[in-house]
Amino acid sequence: GVTPLTQILSGPFTERYAVPAINVFNDLTLEAVLAAAVENQSPLIVQTSVKTVKSIGSDVLYAMWTAMTAGIEVPVTLHLDHCPEREVITECLRRGWNSVLFDASKLPVEENMRQTVEVVAEARAHGAAVEGEIESITGVEDGIGSDIAAEQQDLAVALEFLRTTQVDVFAPAIGNAHGSYKQAPVLDAQRVSDLVAAYPIPIALHGGSGLSDEQFRDLISRGCAKVNISTALKETFMKSNLAFLETAAERQKWDPPSQFRAVRQDVVELAGSLMRLFGSAGRA
Ligand code: 13P
Ligand code: ZN
Ligand code: NA
């Protein structure tokens, strides 16, 4: 059933496996990733971007979440991805989202810290969790992020942020980027180990699409217990639709439900493959 984020991540963090945090953007993708979690007996973090919240509406989105998770037996949780807007944070927390990523990485660290303290207090009042970020992750994903390589803060600054704000999860910049990588990324995996050694909380690995199985395994073994995937799912969704439509056009057969079924199956398969790769399959 619906489970707090801290609870979803505690086993994975101590046992060094990871839970996929998948960005969904409509009813089909939400239903498909939940079905993959059930099929693979895996915990799952469902994420929504601010763009998705605004396009569907938090009321409709949350109603879908409630309806589709009713009676579900694997642990699942609803998370608001990169959100710089305090009003949207408040709206989602009131609605029932289980956690939020307050993304004030574009603000000076001092101001980010001051506001993150407020967001943590607000989230706690709703029994929700907070992910924190002090370095803007490179690459633009649903309008969030920066095209300029993120500047890493000193470890001491990151630790002060973590101790002061008491966030539950931390999202560091380690050479990772949103979107597909133009060249193979060189990651600063040691930074994850340093952070976890100094302040042991689950680390969120952003920009998951495009990393190698080996990179996932290494980072997960160092404490990345939440692995964010967005672009790969969008790509699967779009390509699956395209393939179906090409055939439909050839045959002049126009049946939307069979298209949805085909696309759903591809999304279920992608989500399931992530659960098996990250080691969360069979852990529900
Ligand atoms: P990708 O789009 O590279 O998978 O990144 C996802 C992400 O970090 C969402 O916050
Ligand atoms: Zn991200
Ligand atoms: Na990526």
In tens, the pLDDT along 246-258 reads: 999 999 999 999 9
In this structure, is residue 253 part of a structural domain? no
Whether 244 maps to a domain, the answer reads no
Q: Which domain holds residue 125?
A: 5-237+273-278
Q: Whose CA is nearest to atom 9 of ligand 1?
A: 228
Domain-located, residue 199 = yes
Instruction: Give 69 Cα–ligand 2 centroid separation in angstroms.
Output: 24
In this predicted structure, what is the pLDDT of residue 148? 62
Q: Is the pLDDT of residue 141 over 90?
A: no
Which pLDDT band, with edges at 50, 70 and 90, does 150 fall under?
Answer: confident
What's the distance, CA 125 to chain centroid? Answer: 22
Q: Does residue 245 lie within any of the structural domains? A: no
Tell whether ligand 1 has an atom less than 6 A from the beta carbon of residue 98: no
Question: Which atom from ligand 1 is nearest to the alpha carbon of 205?
Answer: 8
CA 15, distance to chain mean position in Å, is 20
Q: Domain for residue 257, yes or no?
A: no
pLDDT reading at 140 higher than 90: no
- Report whether 37 contacts 272 (CB < 8 A): no
DSSP at 100: E
Listed residue (267, 262, 264) closest to 247, CA to CA: 262
Q: Is the CB of 229 under 6 A from ligand 1?
A: yes
Lowest-confidence pick of 96-100, 116-120, 127-131, 143-147: 143-147
pLDDT band at 183 (very low <50, low <70, confident <90, very high): confident
Q: Given a cut of 70, is residue 147 above it in pLDDT?
A: no
78, part of any domain: yes
32 CA from centroid of ligand 3 (Å):
21
Tens of pLDDT along 83-104? 999 999 999 999 999 999 999 9
Residue found under tokens 């109603």: 63
Nearest to 47 by CA among 24, 75, 17: 24
- Asked if the structure places residue 256 within a domain, the reply is no
Distance, CA 46 to ligand 1 centroid (Å)? 13
Binning pLDDT at 50, 70 and 90, where does residue 206 land?
very high
Instruction: Tell whether 27 is covered by a domain.
Output: yes
Ligand 1: does its nearest atom lie under 6 Å from the Cβ of 231?
yes
104: domain CATH number? 3.20.20.70
Computed over every residue of the chain, the mean pLDDT equals 96
Count of the separate structural domains present in the chain: 1
pLDDT tens-digit profile of 44-75? Answer: 999 999 999 999 999 999 999 999 999 999 99
Of 59, 81, 147, 194, the active-site residue reads 81
β-strand partners of 146:
138
Q: Could you tell which of 209, 226, 270 is best to mutate to test the pocket of ligand 1, judged by most ligand atoms within 8 Å of the CB?
A: 209
* Residue type at position 135: E
- Is residue 230 in contact with ligand 1, taking CB distance under 6 Å? yes
Q: Residue range 108-131: average pLDDT?
A: 98
